[in-house]
Structure 1
Amino acid sequence: MRFSTALLFVSALLPFAAATYPTGQSNCGNDQFKWGNDCLPKGGPPQSTTTKPPNGSDCPPTNYYWGSKQGCCVPKNPPPTTNYPEPQCRKNWTWYPALRKCLPTPTPPSPPPSTPSKYNGNNGNNGNNGNNHYKKRTHKSRSTLCPTGLDACPIKGLAANDYECLDTYTELESCGGCTSVGKGQDCTSIEGAWNVGCEQARCVVYTCAAGFQLGLDRKTCISL
């Protein structure tokens, strides 16, 4: 009786496993691969036919897109065959395997502001000096677009004066320069890449999707 119960439990899990992980056998076409119960196009569908994830959700930019039918992020290429890392979300986003999508990374609550001392120490002179220092800091922040070490990159599709401050030495989508103005490189656009990084303003490929081999320069994935 216990053996029969165990068999029923295992058989109940099989549909869940098949729907969650890619299967080895496939009845898909040559230009497709099996992912769960679906046949997905190798390389992903044309960008013009894809839809954006719902508000508050995102997909890993390197090798995923939003699958409207599946209601989650699906890969453009089959994953590496063994020990492949989790999908790589954008900065300040975290991958949730159960939901198969990226969600905003929770931020810890800010500590309450400290109460300033009422004692000025020198008949109010320190308060005046503090005001002068504040004015200098305000003037400095207005004279520069971004803090030191960050580049002001225009945001495509928005007004000319809209920009974001990026560290182009580590930013995946603007590695080595602002790609919105034709500089640097978008590491997430490397064909066949599964996980990538931006190290010292240069794209580096860590893992390639199945069907691709890591190039000797660690900057490309070569189709097999």
Structure 2
Amino acid sequence: MQLKFALTVLASLVTMVASTYTSSNQQNCKSNQFWWAGQKCCLDKGGPKTPPAPPKGTNCPPTSYYWEPKRGCCVPRNPPPTNPPPPQCPKNWTWYPAIYKCLPTPTPPTPPPSTPSKYNGGYNNHGNNNHGYGYGYGGHKKRSAKSRSTLCPTGLDACPVSSLTGDYECLDTATELESCGGCTSQGKGQDCTKIEGAWNVGCEQGSCVVYTCAGGFQIGPDGKTCVEL
């Protein structure tokens, strides 16, 4: 009984010390800043409006983080929530918590077809699913202007990538986070990753849904926004 009581007291003391440590560091931050334990520093709430792009081969979770060149890693826009889920990296990117970055998700090499094609003395391109596609942002298949006459597969929308080149990518706007409900490059739908105060979001049947808000925010009554406390 005495041992149980001693352990309870010890746990309370640890919690109190941690709380005091966090509060003490928060006091060193400005009123428009918050203390981030990840890099033990003060960060501006909301982050910059136009943060610098991450270096090649690196990415940041678009919903909740941005690239901070001085620290060489991704940092949160707002205080992380209590027991936060892993931040959402773009498709085909994986979050590495030890270095606070999104890196390309390793993919196993695709073995060549077992039967050579009789065309062009090489392998049949159709066996590799290469129908004139390239790969756009997030791993989505992108077609050039020369092949625009070919429609996207059923269920996907052709969203322009650049008005200058005429390239476009085939997206499922019913689930696509950055073009939820329509092609944002055409002024339609919504970019769920830009919901202020959001930590984890989703696109369900063409409508943005907030799963988790950052610290200092709570999910709004509509379930699609984060409201500042």
Displacement of 1:187:
0.3
Displacement of 1:142:
6.6
Asked if structure 2 preserves the Cα contact closer than 8 Å seen for 1:154 and 1:160, the reply is: no
Q: How many residues align structurally?
A: 180
**In structure 2, the residue corresponding to 1:188 is in which secondary structure?**
helix
Q: Distance in 2 between matches of 1:52 and 1:145?
A: 32
1:153 equivalent in alignment to 2:159: yes
Report matched runs for 1:3-152 at 5 Å.
23-24=22-23, 25-26=25-26, 27-35=28-36, 36-47=39-50, 50-80=51-81, 82-115=82-115, 143-152=149-158
* CA separation of 1:213 and 1:143: change in aligned 2, threshold 3 A: same
**Aligned counterpart, 1:11:** none
Asked if structure 2 preserves the Cα contact closer than 8 Å seen for 1:207 and 1:214, the reply is: yes
Q: CA RMSD in A?
A: 2.3
* CA separation of 1:142 and 1:43: change in aligned 2, threshold 3 A: closer
1:200 equivalent in alignment to 2:205: yes
Q: Distance in 1 between matches of 2:22 and 2:104?
A: 30
* Structure 1: runs of 5 or more not aligned: 1-17, 119-136
Q: Distance in 2 between matches of 1:142 and 1:85?
A: 40
Displacement of 1:116:
6.0
Asked if structure 2 preserves the Cα contact closer than 8 Å seen for 1:67 and 1:74, the reply is: yes
Asked if structure 2 preserves the Cα contact closer than 8 Å seen for 1:172 and 1:197, the reply is: yes
Displacement of 1:111:
2.8
* CA separation of 1:218 and 1:114: change in aligned 2, threshold 3 A: same
**Aligned counterpart, 1:169:** 174
1:45-102 Cα distance to aligned partner (Å, 9 max, x none): 231xx2110001100000111001110000110100x221011001111101112111
Displacement of 1:145:
3.6
Q: Distance in 2 between matches of 1:117 and 1:213?
A: 58
Q: Distance in 1 between matches of 2:167 and 2:22?
A: 45
Q: Distance in 2 between matches of 1:153 and 1:54?
A: 26
Displacement of 1:37:
2.7
Q: TM-score, normalised by structure 2?
A: 0.72
Q: Distance in 2 between matches of 1:85 and 1:34?
A: 19
Q: Distance in 1 between matches of 2:49 and 2:41?
A: 18
Q: Which amino acid aligns with 2:156?
A: L
Q: Distance in 1 between matches of 2:176 and 2:72?
A: 28
Displacement of 1:108:
1.7
1:97-121 Cα distance to aligned partner (Å, 9 max, x none): 1121111111122133022699xxx
Q: Which amino acid aligns with 2:223?
A: R
Q: TM-score, normalised by structure 1?
A: 0.74
Q: Distance in 2 between matches of 1:163 and 1:89?
A: 22
